[in-house]
Structure 1
Amino acid sequence: MIYHRGNSFPFHLLGLGWDENSGNIRDLGEAKSLDTITAIQTIRDGDTIVSVGGNFELGFFSPSSSKNRYLGIWYKKIATGTVVWVANGDAPLKDTLGVLKFDSQGILVLLNSTDSIIWSSNSSQPAKNPMAQLLDTGNLVMRDGSDSSDPEKFLWQSFDHPGNTFLPGMKFGKDLVTGLDKYLLSWRSADDPSPGDYTNRLDPNGFPQLFLRKGSVIQFRSGPWNGLRFSGMPNLKPNSIYTFEFVLNQKEIYYQFELINSSVVTRMVLSPNGIIQRFAWIERTQDWSLYLTAQMDNCDRYALCGAYGSCNINNSPACGCLKGFEPKFPEEWVVADWSNGCVRKTQLDCGNGEGFRKYSGVKLPDTQQSWFNESMNLKECEMVCLKNCNCTAYANTDIRGDGSGCLLWFGELIDIREYTENGQDLYVKMAASDIDTKSSSNEKRQVRIIIPILLVVVVLLSIFLFFHVSKKRKLKREEIVRLNTERDHCISEKERDDWRKLGEVRGCENGDNHKFPVGMRVLAVDDDTTCLMLLDALLQKCQYQAVLLERSNT
């Protein structure tokens, strides 16, 4: 926590004092300068060990005006004396007679004035030559002195047992092999590191997500990891200060962040009043600056709008039912009590044409009662949900690129909220009538738009055709008939028979006028000859007994 306010040093260390001139802790006693504790060494109240780079220090301290003594780790180079880890928060020493040492089994223990153990590393692995070392990351590790610094060989480490502070390099989550749960626990108050009311831990049930609880009651939910961030933390974005990742495999599930620039000092803290905050140290002002808060507004209160309700902080009231749903108890919604949520207007009838309605830009519902498969695609996911009568919704597990993976919900959808950015798509199963109603409404709307357009087009085409035909007839009547006899070509009877098969015979009797297209080659037959002629104009006077039209222009 942040202790420094004004010019006074907020916590005191026996054997250590505050130098007002230099702004640093000055050594008043016989403090140890090494970063390790061996099997034959002890740390007494007034002794400290410092990490090799001088970033962190371990020793005994008292918060503010408290007389209780605690064993802890704090930033060495930061004048505010910010503590990041406390060993005996639930069992404070009442005097300055505490001792940190290894017992005969190679376990690190903290003894009080009566030599009773009030804290221990509780390592299950014995060590022949135990050694504890404070690393420059702020991690106190215990290993067998003969082993290397390989983290896999650590017998115990403080990073596996965080308090209220999440530091770079920590794994925040659960070891599925050993069952070790690494979570944040708030302090009772800013000056009391005893266990507080709030915990922030990763829940492995269904598709993993983070829960902030007060006691056993959920206060805030991060939403599941979607490949880029937690679904309910849209402000968690790539930045120039740190990188972050989420790991999910058969052995462990954890969230972790690492510094991009090692000179930056940042930490995440669970405050005594249950707020998850990230701070960055500003050297110029010699103070911590609030960088990010997990809970953004009232819509982050867990299940504020109840089942099938959705929260939008830009609306008034903020809560509303999903489309196709209505308040379960309308009279409660009138007085802004949304806790009982919403119910379907039309109940699902499994196998009778159900479909899905897409919601975009949302925080995914609580995934405690969910199932996931990271190798499936979205279409396969839809089919599985459609065939399962208990499935109520589906989504991608990973939204990177075109999306991948399948996440299915069973039961009520709880704790949905809408975002203006960085939300994702959710597909909610709906009754056939709800889907059809929407489709029919769209179709009617389209018909109302299309019919007037078609009527206008038909009228315009009719007008165009009328004038076009009228003009063409007028032009034909004005054409002059002229038979181009220079290009007449008489053919044999056999050729005449061939031509007759190609064309259409039109009679010419009683002086009826016949009209033929200009340039059309025709076969004209009189009493004596059969000739192939080219007409330059329309025939207005019948000169032959029969005329055979050729179908292709030449």
Structure 2
Amino acid sequence: MDVFTLIAFVSTCFLIFLKASTAIDSISPSEPLPDGKTLISNDRSFELGFFSPGSSGNRYLGIWYKNIPVCTVVWVANRVNPINDSSGMLIVTATGDLQLLSQNITVVWSANSTKAAQNPILRLLNSGNLVLIDGRNGNSEASLWQSFDYPSDTLLPEMKLGWNLRTGLNRRLSAWKNSDDPSPGDFTCEIELQGNPEWVLRKGSKKYFRYGPWNGISFSGVPILSPENQIFSYEFVSNEEEVYYMFSLKNKSLLSRIVLNQTDYAIQRYTWSEETRTWKLWLYLPDEYCDKYGLCSAYGNCDSTQLPACQCFKGFKPKSPDGWSSGDWSQGCVRNKPLNCQAADGFIQFGRLKLPDATHSWVNKIMSLEECRDKCLQNCSCMAYTSEDIRGRGSGCAIWFGDLVDIRQFQSGGQDLFIRMSASELGSKRNETKLKLALLIAIPLAALLAMLILFYYFCQSRGSSEERIEEKKENDIKNEGQDEDMELPVFQVATISHATDNFSLSNKLGQGGFGPVYKGKLVDGQEIAVKRLSLSSTQGVNEFKNEVKLIAKLQHRNLVRLLGCCIEGEEKMLIYEYMPNRSLDSFIFDQIRGKELDWSKRFGIICGIARGLLYLHQDSRLRVIHRDLKASNVLLDDEMNSKISDFGMAKTFAGDQTEGSTNKYAIDGLFSIKSDVFSFGVLLLEIISGIRNRGFFHPKHSLNLIGHAWKLWKEGNPLELAAESLGECFTLSEVVRCIHISLLCLQQNPEDRPPM
């Protein structure tokens, strides 16, 4: 049975039901939508009602096209909770919540409005968007809830695929399991947030296909998506508020949709043909062998016009020649000549490419291409760069760190990429044709130059030579003294590179504000964590040394122990003890891992953080203000003991110096222990609730986490803040006391906040 026959079969099931139904144009609290009645848009383009897909007897609430014979569902409400009879009823509550009921009792699906409404009305717009509005003003644009924010497997015109960064809402697609079951399958599509956001398809947890980063005109990996097509236009928006893709139809009378197909593991665009009365397939991705994610692995370039398809870039060779020749490209390519960051590395330009996976990338929208090149050269882990926006003469900067993967070659379209090469590789290529001419000129010149040099040194006094030698000795002694001033071991770059397997991505633990952190193992077997300052860090060598000296003096069981540092060329690294359980945020904000932290463990973590801050503020030789206390900067050892880390923003003042006497504190309060106290209060709420403060807005009253906690405390319901993962086994007095302390720490006036 082909796909169109299957669609026709499904549509027959719908039409039998639809002919017997009656339609309305809105739903209010006084008029529910029972099974057998439908809600239609004003121009009768779309219809909402109950349906049974294919041969299934289950009932679902969904939206489909109204006036075409092939009944095509574009949205389903109760995807994971079907109704097994015809008792379904959709109601709008007086406060503006949607509820889908079975047997008039059981709630199988619900949706909460963003705020209370005095006269809530549910309408189906001509776009296919189901919206809940406040009927007081009748403004359908000011929706309290909309189905476009919670797509199923279909993207319609004017629907956003991507993120609302203010609320944390992620609009993503997930395919139906099959034609009889609209529940989410394992094939998903979403915009991934990273240095350079891009559109990614996943099969389970693994990447399956990338569109490539946005270049101002299109996605570099899909040049077929020309903005000059006659059907649709599209835009990609990435700013501090939102990151999303959206398309619009150029001819409003046309019908077009994007759908995710679990059976074929493909994303497809269909347009409706009035002539044939069928859906025509306009685009199918991935559609080529080279579209498979990471087929040629690191530094491999997939070219569908070549045999074999995988080719190593110029300057690279197969890591496993035997495997490569037999069609096993999993180990990718390696350089012919290794990079030497201290020497003059350069770049080779490659054209018409799908840009590499942008997971480990960085973007600056105002840099020129020349500035971008210089920026890349300043960091030894930067492997490639290009223009962020190719419109006009090009603008902006996009750079990549670590191995370059998932690149393919196009015959037309694509984008230029500048890949880093060693100076010796560049030199051998560039000078090969000029070698003979250079020798003919160089030999006589060298002889003449040698005679001049001998004559020059003969004329120099021995005293001057001795002075230069003595000056060099003094400089050597001075440099040696700098290392001694560090007060802890100084490692070589080669040692750390070997310990981290050349800063392999597989050893990367995370990315902080000042650079990446890698796991490593020294030759004696000791495990370490290496914080490598990024090229964007504004911290200079002197500031870095001051930070190292500061941390070296801090010794406490609730502070991460610094083992050493590395300062060599542009490289600045800190070597810490390795924490096997990573950071606190990986537990408390994860619904699964959060269950590993019962209340007793969370309370122990809270006490450990408090002890660490007390030491910094009061008991250390220098009073220290951390200034960046948050869940990601609290690490956990193998026994779940908490240790404060990352002192890149820390400030100090003498033990007998009061915070109020400093100019810094007088200006803006940044140099105050009370700023750490405030951060501790926020962290307490996050540990107790399992909710991230940043980006949280309560759907009922739009308060953030702090405002929500204050509201519950004033209402006498503080325990509503406790995370479900705490279970029922916790000490009531301890939880309430911690909430009370957190609110004291969060008072607006710093003088009202208690000391640690």
Both structures adopt the same fold (TM-score exceeding 0.5): yes
2:28 aligned residue (18, 32, 38): 38
2:101 equivalent in structure 1: 111
Q: 1 CA distance for matches of 2:360 and 2:92?
A: 45
Q: 1 CA distance for matches of 2:161 and 2:385?
A: 27
Q: 2 CA distance for matches of 1:72 and 1:293?
A: 25
Native 8 Å contact 2:88 2:104 kept in 1: no
1:17 equivalent in structure 2: 16
The alpha-carbon deviation at position 52 of structure 1 amounts to 0.3
The answer as to 2:86 corresponding to 1:85 is no
1:409 aligned residue (379, 382, 400): 400
Native 8 Å contact 1:212 1:220 kept in 2: yes
The superposition leaves residues 274-316 of structure 1 with CA deviations (integer Å, 9 ceiling, x where unpaired) of: 2011001011111010001231301011000001111000111
SS of the aligned residue for 1:429 comes to strand
1:75 aligned residue (61, 65, 72): 65
The answer as to 2:193 corresponding to 1:204 is yes
The superposition leaves residues 150-181 of structure 1 with CA deviations (integer Å, 9 ceiling, x where unpaired) of: 53x21111111111101000011111100100
Equivalent residue letter for 2:149:
D
SS of the aligned residue for 1:212 comes to strand
Q: 1:44 to 1:354 in 2, by over 3 A?
A: same
Q: 1 CA distance for matches of 2:346 and 2:256?
A: 47
Q: 2 CA distance for matches of 1:7 and 1:419?
A: 38
Computing the radius of gyration from Cα coordinates, the structure with the larger value is 1
The alpha-carbon deviation at position 8 of structure 1 amounts to 5.4
2:259 aligned residue (251, 266, 269): 269
2:153 equivalent in structure 1: 164
Q: Which moved more, 1:261-270 or 1:109-118?
A: 109-118
The superposition leaves residues 234-261 of structure 1 with CA deviations (integer Å, 9 ceiling, x where unpaired) of: 1101211111111111100111110111
1:526 equivalent in structure 2: none
Q: 1 CA distance for matches of 2:191 and 2:178?
A: 23
Q: 2 CA distance for matches of 1:125 and 1:443?
A: 74
Native 8 Å contact 2:96 2:112 kept in 1: no
Equivalent residue letter for 1:100:
L
Q: 2 CA distance for matches of 1:329 and 1:123?
A: 57
Q: 2 CA distance for matches of 1:434 and 1:315?
A: 25
1:313 equivalent in structure 2: 304
The alpha-carbon deviation at position 351 of structure 1 amounts to 2.7
SS of the aligned residue for 1:368 comes to coil
Q: 1:68 to 1:434 in 2, by over 3 A?
A: same
1:379 equivalent in structure 2: 370
Q: 2 CA distance for matches of 1:446 and 1:243?
A: 56
Q: 1:150 to 1:53 in 2, by over 3 A?
A: closer
Equivalent residue letter for 1:418:
Q
The superposition leaves residues 13-55 of structure 1 with CA deviations (integer Å, 9 ceiling, x where unpaired) of: 5xx637xxxxxx53x25x23x3211121111111001100010
Equivalent residue letter for 1:214:
K
Q: 1 CA distance for matches of 2:10 and 2:370?
A: 61
Q: 1:416 to 1:446 in 2, by over 3 A?
A: farther
Q: 2 CA distance for matches of 1:394 and 1:211?
A: 21
Native 8 Å contact 1:2 1:190 kept in 2: no
The alpha-carbon deviation at position 190 of structure 1 amounts to 2.1
Native 8 Å contact 1:3 1:80 kept in 2: no
2:45 aligned residue (32, 41, 55): 55
1:97 equivalent in structure 2: 87
Q: 2 CA distance for matches of 1:101 and 1:447?
A: 86
Equivalent residue letter for 2:230:
S
1:398 equivalent in structure 2: 389
Q: Which runs of 4+ in 1 moved over 3 A?
A: 1-13, 444-448
SS of the aligned residue for 2:427 comes to helix
1:504 equivalent in structure 2: none
Equivalent residue letter for 2:416:
D
The alpha-carbon deviation at position 5 of structure 1 amounts to 4.7
Equivalent residue letter for 1:175:
N
Equivalent residue letter for 1:325:
F
1:420 aligned residue (406, 411, 414): 411
Q: 1:287 to 1:402 in 2, by over 3 A?
A: same
2:584 equivalent in structure 1: none
1:127 aligned residue (107, 117, 132): 117
SS of the aligned residue for 2:430 comes to helix
Equivalent residue letter for 2:11:
P
2:354 aligned residue (342, 349, 363): 363
SS of the aligned residue for 1:12 comes to helix
Equivalences for 1:176-255 in 2 at 5 Å? 176-237=165-226, 238-255=228-245
The answer as to 2:313 corresponding to 1:350 is no
Q: 1 CA distance for matches of 2:8 and 2:408?
A: 44
Q: 1:211 to 1:442 in 2, by over 3 A?
A: farther
Give the structure with the higher percent helix.
2
SS of the aligned residue for 2:84 comes to coil
The alpha-carbon deviation at position 120 of structure 1 amounts to 1.1
Q: 1:3 to 1:311 in 2, by over 3 A?
A: closer
Equivalent residue letter for 1:441:
E
The superposition leaves residues 313-334 of structure 1 with CA deviations (integer Å, 9 ceiling, x where unpaired) of: 0111100111111111222212
SS of the aligned residue for 1:261 comes to coil
Q: 1:130 to 1:6 in 2, by over 3 A?
A: closer
Q: 1 CA distance for matches of 2:305 and 2:16?
A: 52
Q: 2 CA distance for matches of 1:64 and 1:290?
A: 21
Q: 1:195 to 1:314 in 2, by over 3 A?
A: same
Q: 2 CA distance for matches of 1:149 and 1:120?
A: 23
Aligned residue pair count: 436
| Structure 2 unmatched ranges of 5 or more | 440-756
The answer as to 2:55 corresponding to 1:65 is yes
Q: 2 CA distance for matches of 1:278 and 1:327?
A: 37
1:552 equivalent in structure 2: none
The superposition leaves residues 97-145 of structure 1 with CA deviations (integer Å, 9 ceiling, x where unpaired) of: 0110013432011011261111112334221211111001100011111
| Structure 1 unmatched ranges of 5 or more | 19-24, 449-554
Native 8 Å contact 2:114 2:145 kept in 1: no
Native 8 Å contact 2:190 2:201 kept in 1: yes
The alpha-carbon deviation at position 417 of structure 1 amounts to 0.4
Q: 1 CA distance for matches of 2:261 and 2:386?
A: 33
The alpha-carbon deviation at position 6 of structure 1 amounts to 8.6
Q: 2 CA distance for matches of 1:241 and 1:164?
A: 21
TM-score, normalised with respect to structure 2: 0.56
Q: 1:7 to 1:102 in 2, by over 3 A?
A: closer
Q: 1 CA distance for matches of 2:107 and 2:319?
A: 55
Native 8 Å contact 2:96 2:132 kept in 1: no
Q: Which moved more, 1:142-151 or 1:415-424?
A: 142-151
Equivalent residue letter for 2:371:
E
Equivalent residue letter for 1:402:
R
Native 8 Å contact 2:101 2:108 kept in 1: yes
TM-score, normalised with respect to structure 1: 0.76
2:277 equivalent in structure 1: 286
Task: State the identity as a percent.
Answer: 46
Q: 2 CA distance for matches of 1:157 and 1:80?
A: 25
2:429 equivalent in structure 1: 438
